[in-house]
Amino acid sequence: MKMEVKRYGMRWKIVLVFMVIGALRAKGASGSRLLLDESVVTYDNFITGTEANPLVLRTYFPDPGLSGEVLVNHAIGYRSRRYKMGEGDVEGFADPIRGIVAGIGVNFGGKLSYCWDTTECRLLFAWQGGFMDMTNDWGNPNDGRRGSYNNVPKIEGNLIYLTKGSHPLMILDEFTNTHSPKYHSMRLVGNVPEFAYKLGKAMVRVRITPGENPMTLVKSYFVTGVDRAEYHETDYDFSLVRKNSLEFSVKIEGRKDLVRADDAYLSESIRVPGGKIVEGFPSGFMPVYSLEDDQAESLVRFLKEEASQ
Amino acid sequence: MKMVISCLVLVSAFLFLSRTRANDRSGNSCYTVETVGFPGGVPLEVGAMGLNEDGELVVALRRGNILIGKLSSDPDATDWRVFAQALHNACGMHVVSRSEVIVSQMPELTRIVDTDGDGQADLYENLYSEWGIGGNYHEINSLVSDGAGGYYVALGTASYNSPTYYHVRGGYSKIGRRGRNYSAVSWKGWLLHIDQTGETTPWSSGFRMQNGILLDRDGNLWSGDNQGDWKGTTPFYHLRRGHFKGTRAAWCGSQDGIGRRIRSSFRPRRGAL
């Protein structure tokens, strides 16, 4: 009983303590320390992780064009009559927007970001470059303003993988319905998330990491509870390295139509502009310049400086 | 003589009440104000908090972190450490121990454990995720332990001021989507009881946004609710099984199989508004 009384007293203390915290923050008077700050989220709406210490974020995600076949365990939202305070239903409609509701995002710095979905229990899409612009959801750091009728964060970088078709894992068991996975947990193994889900009698663990080459990623599977599991992938080249019938890794080659704009690419594009043409631009449009190596190098450096600003 | 005694009683009562009110105004007899520092640069957007057995303050923040603060008499000497990350707007928390916390976040009820004792959580286990989620910022929730290994989870409705998504979880109801605060997906505006085996019972309904839930020492459940449509003022509810609290959208939620089945077994009590 004494403990209970103490707890009730502490509840009031907590409320008041945080009123004071709020006042302190407003005055910017706090000198308190954060001892482990690697994974703390700040006012930075473009927060990223690193390859050694990836950032894991649970939030809403944009839908870059996923098909209904992928989102088979989701329901469809419809437009509704617009509502206005004081008037009720008014002319016009409130349309649904495209977003993912229960995903987990992981960022390994510039090498890889991805969105794994806890409803479908599968990798939905992956991209390279930055992570996300969280302003629509978290608000502008200066005035707190959020997206207008849009709370979906934006992807920063280039999409390299967008999943298609049915669930990629096949359990060779006639009683397993691979269309109804059940999310179980996320475990951080050496800072890298490993997702676990049930697929019929099987318990599946999967870890997704950057590949060695640009535009690649690796999915490592560990399956228990069944005799054998198979993997299939729609529209992307992949290589499967099997340790045994239930433990294997899949290296996926991302979009082939993407080219990394590194120094060599920029230099080639200046000297031989017809060598690679960006989709949507006419060929033979840019004149050919004859430049020395150091001149081309200077131009590339100038372009990179401009881009960084 | 009777008159004199009556006057004395009245004066005594007046003086007693005046004194009590004066004390209430100062608050000195009710609580102690303590000042706690907080690290600069970390948004103080608190969704939930609790205390662990070491007397440390455990705080869930909107952008995903759980921080633990070692309180000190010197506010500027408060040391904070990151316990957990990757939570979607956790607004309910039950601190089990210094290494385990249960939270209700936007998409699920989650058990968070530091399994290797390094001070940071490494296991995030999904205890329950059968309620709907439509993408609306207002669909937050809170929890309280039932004291027997289970939890009561209070699920708020969505707001007309923000959209739902084209792909949602937990069915979709066109009727439930109408109006100011709405329940387009399952169980928005409900209180669910999830026992330690995962068995779920719809407990009461008709809430707009509970903003917190409490189980007192005598086993009574209490919650707030937010003023707005169907709520002329901000009430404080004593919750009993079967009660309906007025926000009709809660009964229009998704019409998928599980929703229909459980609602059909739910018996609202008359006059329980």
B137 contacts in chain A (CB < 8 Å): 137, 151
What's the CA gap between A21 and A32, in Å, rounded? 11
Mutation for testing the B interface, residue in A27, A40, A56 having most B CBs under 10 Å: A40
At residue A271, the pLDDT reads: 85
A180 contacts in chain B (CB < 8 Å): none
Give the three-class secondary structure for B9: helix
The answer to whether residue A58 neighbours chain B at the CB level (below 8 Å) is: yes
- Report whether B57 contacts B69 (CB < 8 A): yes
Nearest to A201 by CA among A220, A166, A230, A228: A228
Cross-chain residue pair B67–A89, CB shorter than 8 Å: no
Ordered alpha helix ranges (H), A76-196: 135-138
What's the CA gap between A134 and A146, in Å, rounded? 9
Q: Considering only alpha carbons, which residue of chain A is nearest residue B139? A: A101
Overall average pLDDT of the B47-54 stretch: 96
At residue B250, the pLDDT reads: 85
Least confident of A71-80, A214-223, A230-239, B209-218: A230-239
Of A106 and B200, which is predicted with more confidence? Answer: A106
The pairing of strands B79-84 and A33-34 is parallel
Give the three-class secondary structure for A252: strand
Position B77 confidence tier, pLDDT thresholds 50, 70, 90: confident
A25 contacts in chain B (CB < 8 Å): 38, 40, 44
What's the CA gap between A101 and A124, in Å, rounded? 12
At residue B215, the pLDDT reads: 96
- Extract the tokens encoding A169: 């894992």
Per-residue pLDDT at A7 exceeds 70: no
* Burial grade of A179 (CB within 10 A; 0-12, 13-18, 19 or more): exposed
Angle at A264 between CA A262 and CA A268, to 5 degrees: 120
pLDDT tens-place string over residues A125-165? 999 999 999 999 999 999 888 888 899 999 999 999 999 99
Least confident of A45-59, B18-32, B104-118, B170-184: B18-32
At residue A12, the pLDDT reads: 40
Position B1 confidence tier, pLDDT thresholds 50, 70, 90: very low
Nearest to B178 by CA among A148, A76, A152, A84: A84
> Which 196-255 residues of chain A touch chain B by CB within 8 A?
none
Q: Considering only alpha carbons, which residue of chain A is nearest residue B133? A: A101
Q: Which of B39, B133, B166 sits opposite A32 (nearest CB)?
A: B39
Q: Considering only alpha carbons, which residue of chain B is nearest residue A90? A: B179
What's the CA gap between A78 and B254, in Å, rounded? 12
> Which 162-191 residues of chain A touch chain B by CB within 8 A?
183-189
B160 contacts in chain A (CB < 8 Å): 83, 85, 94
> How close B8 gets to chain A, by Cα (Å)?
35
What is the ipTM, given to two decimal places?
0.85
At residue A5, the pLDDT reads: 29
Q: What percent of chain B has pLDDT over 90?
A: 61
- Extract the tokens encoding A305: 């400086």
**pTM, to two decimals:** 0.82
For residue A105, how many other CB atoms are within 10 A of its CB? Answer: 23
DSSP A36-48: --TT---S-TT--
- Residue A132 identity (one-letter amino acid): M
- Report whether B56 contacts B68 (CB < 8 A): yes
Of A20 and A285, which is predicted with more confidence? Answer: A285
Per-residue pLDDT at B22 exceeds 50: no
C-alpha distances out from residue A23 to B24, B38, B61, Å? 22, 11, 17
Cross-chain residue pair A186–B166, CB shorter than 8 Å: no
Q: Considering only alpha carbons, which residue of chain B is nearest residue A85? A: B180
Cross-chain residue pair A100–B107, CB shorter than 8 Å: no
Mean pLDDT score across all residues of chain B: 85
Mutation for testing the B interface, residue in A17, A87, A135, A192 having most B CBs under 10 Å: A17
At residue A175, the pLDDT reads: 63
Cross-chain residue pair B133–A101, CB shorter than 8 Å: yes
At residue A126, the pLDDT reads: 97
The pairing of strands B200-205 and B190-194 is antiparallel
Per-residue pLDDT at B85 exceeds 50: yes
At residue A273, the pLDDT reads: 83
Q: What percent of chain A has pLDDT over 90?
A: 53
Q: Considering only alpha carbons, which residue of chain A is nearest residue B121? A: A188
Q: Considering only alpha carbons, which residue of chain B is nearest residue A104? A: B86
Per-residue pLDDT at B21 exceeds 60: no
B167 contacts in chain A (CB < 8 Å): 63, 66, 71, 74-77, 98-101
Per-residue pLDDT at B4 exceeds 50: no
The answer to whether residue A102 neighbours chain B at the CB level (below 8 Å) is: yes
The answer to whether residue A145 neighbours chain B at the CB level (below 8 Å) is: no
Q: What are phi and psi of A10, to 5 degrees?
A: -65, -35
Per-residue pLDDT at A44 exceeds 90: yes
What's the CA gap between A99 and A110, in Å, rounded? 23
At residue A24, the pLDDT reads: 39
Per-residue pLDDT at A122 exceeds 60: yes
Per-residue pLDDT at B256 exceeds 80: no
Cross-chain residue pair B80–A81, CB shorter than 8 Å: no
Overall average pLDDT of the B20-45 stretch: 75
At residue A79, the pLDDT reads: 92
Cross-chain residue pair B86–A57, CB shorter than 8 Å: yes
Overall average pLDDT of the A252-265 stretch: 80
Nearest to B140 by CA among B131, B150, B149: B131
At residue B7, the pLDDT reads: 46
* Burial grade of B8 (CB within 10 A; 0-12, 13-18, 19 or more): exposed
Cross-chain residue pair A118–B119, CB shorter than 8 Å: no
Per-residue pLDDT at B16 exceeds 70: no
- Extract the tokens encoding A77: 């939202």
Overall average pLDDT of the A90-114 stretch: 95
Give the three-class secondary structure for A133: strand
> How close A67 gets to chain B, by Cα (Å)?
10
